[in-house]
Structure 1
Amino acid sequence: MKFYRLTFLASLFLTGVMLLLIYVFDEAKHYFSNSDWQFFGTMLISSIALLIINYVVVDFLFNFYGKRQIRKISTILPEELTDEDNDLNFKELGQRVSDLNLKNTTEIDTMKEMETYRKEYMGNISHEMKTPLFTIQGYVDTLLEGGVENLAIRDKYLERIDKSVERLLNIVKDLDMINQFESGEIILTKSRFDLNHLIRELIDILDLEAQKKNTRIVLQTSSNQIFVIADKQKISQVLINLISNAIYYSNRESATVTVKTKVQNQKILVEVEDNGMGIKPEMLHRIFERFYRIESSRNRNDGGSGLGLAIVKHILEAHQENISVESTYLEGTRFSFSLQKAI
């Protein structure tokens, strides 16, 4: 058994106290022999005094040796457990260890999620770029092997190469835009403009695309002119993405895409609604993720980057606004968001 000097001194002290109490009891017996209640009262007071003394001494010993042991092991503990206060007890140390363990567990879970996201993200980028790159490679090989001599083949293949290169550029441009949004590098250039006028211009631009899908685009508004404060160029991109998606997924012989604008107090509510194929409920919470596709084959054939809705979400968040979606599978989808009303 290891000898501790402080423990020995405490034992001597307690032994002396107990001997003192025995002496007090003996004297009390002579002085209060004719009065039992005085004798027992003295015993009670003495017992309470002994209890208090024992508690103080034992508590002191536990704290002293506990802190001493903590100081010994502090050299192998993380600094964040001991750097704030060197005068720790075991209870406080245990709480700090528990908090650190919870923090580390959370960080590990976050790192695992980020690693999974990174792998999925890199896989998506690789997949998106692989298709146009292989297409370009195939056409170039054909031209190098003699196809360039045939003017009809040359012109057709060069046109397809141009489309594939354009798709690659769109993917890179969209990725760069999302990264800039996430890093806070893009500054909005807000101005006052007529939202309905902008929507009519975009409908004219997308009309040919809509005709190919036998789709009609209409504007429903509560007022002929509705002015907002926003970044016009980026709101144009939001509307183009939403309307184009509605056209791509029309999936009906005679489809309709309806853009609605309505004044709501100090906000302007914008809705883009279609009567197309809709979105399955289990997919709704993922549609704003990068590269997530509701129907991959259709979107790839149309040449989309798979980043449109992710860009829409980032642009509206930069305007301190949110976008919501409601959809009934095989019946239609409605996207809605708000913009600041111009005074």
Structure 2
Amino acid sequence: MGIHSIRFKMTFLLVTIVASLVVLLLVINVAFAEKFYISGKSKTMHNTYDKVNEIIAKYDSGEINKTTMMTELDSYVSANAMQALVVDSDWTTVYVSNMSGDNRLLQRLMLSILLGGAGKAEENSEETEELNPKDYRVDFDKFGQETVDILSTTSNYTIQKVYDKAVDDSFMELWGSLDNGDSVIIRLPIQSIKDNIEISNTLIRYVGISVMFIGLVAVFIFSAYITKPIKELSKIAERMSELDFDAKYTGKDKGEVGLLGNSMNDMSSKLEKNISKLKSANLELKRDIDKKEQIEQMRTDFLSNVSHELKTPIALIQGYAEGLKDGIADDVESRNYYIDVIIDEAAKMNTMVKRLLTLNQLEFGDDEPIMERFDIAELVRSVVNANEIRANQKNLKIITENADNTLYAWGDEIKVEEVITNYISNAINHCKGDNLIKVTIENKDDANIRVKVFNTGDAIPDEDIDRIWEKFYKVDKARTREYGGNGIGLSIVKAIMTSMGKEAGVRNLDNGVEFWFDLDCDVK
């Protein structure tokens, strides 16, 4: 339990509060208990004086006899743990309590009158002159050393606090005269209050220590109950900081801890949603950035490749045009040859530019495919027939397999026709050996039709087989230039198939190369 934990703080706070209350109680007890006790006893003495005055008055009037008077006074005085003495004008004892002797109280009464009753002496001068303390054996030297503290004074009596050295004790005394002229002294020992205060202080200390110990144990036990859900919330917050939004508060507390837990659950859900949205936005932004970088790279590659591809035909056109201008070809046959070269190179440039524009539209998504149901077998037969003249010119044979029956597929028919045309044109340009080109249609599986175009000839080198789909990439640059190729046809094929969400590929066989592409089957 660290000094910064709630458990420690609660324990420390309770101990501090209890200790402060105990100290405060001790201070109040020491400072005010005696005064409070004296104040209360002063009221009791006032009441006792009135009671004694009342009972003596009844006795003087004959309402009660002496025995009754003595009994009533003893009952009242003893009940308040007091001593009392009443004497008449001749100092004859009218009443004395059972708890004290006549002589001691009489000495106290006489001493109080002599030392503190100047006013009384003037009012009762005759009685004062007849008073002879020596007749009552009063030791004035001893009594003169007493400490007297006047608490209150009336016209009939005085209440004072006295330390009686003879008995080594402190008392409260009421001395004065009754309504009938009798002198009275009422005495109450107050040393017991000091003992009681000391006892109460000791009790407070013991009780305080016990309460602190019990409170310490109770706080240590119950603080675990209070801090347990807080620790749980701390762990949940820590897991949330690590983006673990499965962490939830499951407590049943209805107070502040429960409210905090439910708020954390709400915050967790909102954070998860917002972070999900943020991730989606970041992903979209990343795609946009990647697309922008891709477009920029494509633009750079396009400019670089176009400038490279156009350099040769432009140079040829420029050279032959300058030859015509300089009159190098002075006969008709030579001029026609120069003109045919210029026308041929211009046509190649035109074809390349058109293909590049088509490829750019496909790559940028500006030419979306129109998906329709068509007969792929009929389309294959149509493209093969269109290319038979070129094949015959090169002594090549084109055959078809499974292309005689009707077979429906889904795709953009015009773009698929361009794919087949590119494959067959590429096969015608690279066919060697047996001079055979075979176009096959087959069911790859229940969901796909595969069209394959095979030509005999040299295999594609392994280091080039994955790059032939790149724009302007040529395996054999001299041969490609020979038949007017520019390395764009297969890039167009790849872009078309990608736009339709299907695959295209190539593989080397023992006696040639096979290109293929897939289409969705007709679903009835």
TM-score clears 0.5:
yes
Distance 1:191 1:24, change over 3 A: closer
Distance 1:342 1:43 in 2: 76
Could you say if the C-alpha distance between residues 106 and 240 of structure 1 is closer, same or farther in structure 2, counting changes exceeding 3 Å? closer
Counterpart amino acid of residue 437 in structure 2? V
- List per-residue Cα deviations over 1:291-327 (Å, max 9, x = no partner): 2222222212211232111222233344443323323
Q: Which residue of 2 aligns with 1:335?
A: 516
Matched, 1:207 2:201: no
Q: In structure 1, how many angstroms separate the alpha carbons of the residues matched to 2:392 and 2:323?
A: 34
Task: Specify the alignment match of 2:207 in structure 1.
Answer: 31
Segment of structure 1 superposing worse, 109-118 or 234-243: 109-118
TM-score (norm 2): 0.46
Secondary structure at 2:458 match in 1: coil
RMSD: 4.4
- 1:254 corresponds to 2:470: no
- Pair 1:198-2:385 in alignment: no
1:307 equivalent in structure 2: 488
Using the alignment, how far apart are the partners of 1:106 and 1:312 within structure 2? 24
Quick one: distance in 2 between partners of 1:219 and 1:282? 31
Pick aligned residue for 1:297 from 447, 456, 478: 478
1:149 equivalenced with 2:149 (yes/no): no
Partner of 1:124: 305
Code of the residue aligned with 2:303 in structure 1: it is M
CA change 1:116–1:316 in 2 (3 A) is closer
Indicate yes or no: 2:367 matched with 1:186: yes
Tell me, which stretches of 5 or more residues in structure 1 are unaligned? Answer: 1-14, 56-86
Map Cα deviations across residues 109-153 of structure 1 (whole Å, 9 max, x no partner): 776665554433321111111111111101100000013532111
Corresponding residue for residue 88 of structure 2:
none
Query: Quick one: distance in 2 between partners of 1:148 and 1:323?
Result: 48
The residue identity in structure 2 corresponding to 1:139 is Y
Distance 1:272 1:178 in 2: 22
Q: Which has the higher contact order (CA 8 A, sep 6+)?
A: 1
- Paired letter, 1:31: V
Helix, strand or coil for the counterpart of 2:345?
A: helix
- Structure 1, residues 21-54: CA drift from partner, whole Å, max 9, x if none? 42325649742646896254046369879999xx
Measured in 2, the distance between the counterparts of 1:204 and 1:299 equals 24
Conserved 8 A contact 1:192-1:342? no
Q: Percent identity?
A: 27
Q: State the secondary structure of the residue aligned to 1:283.
A: coil
Partner of 1:78: none
C-alpha contact 2:305 2:472 (8 A) present in aligned 1: yes
Whole-Å Cα distance in 1 between the matches of residues 414 and 447 of structure 2?
22
Whole-angstrom distance in 2 between the partners of 1:114 and 1:300: 28
1:269 to 450, 459, 471: 450
Q: TM-score, normalised by structure 1?
A: 0.67
Deviation at 1:200?
Answer: 2.9
Deviation per CA, 1:174-205, whole angstroms, max 9, x where unpaired?
11212223344436566665433333333233
| Aligned partner letter, 2:473 | Y
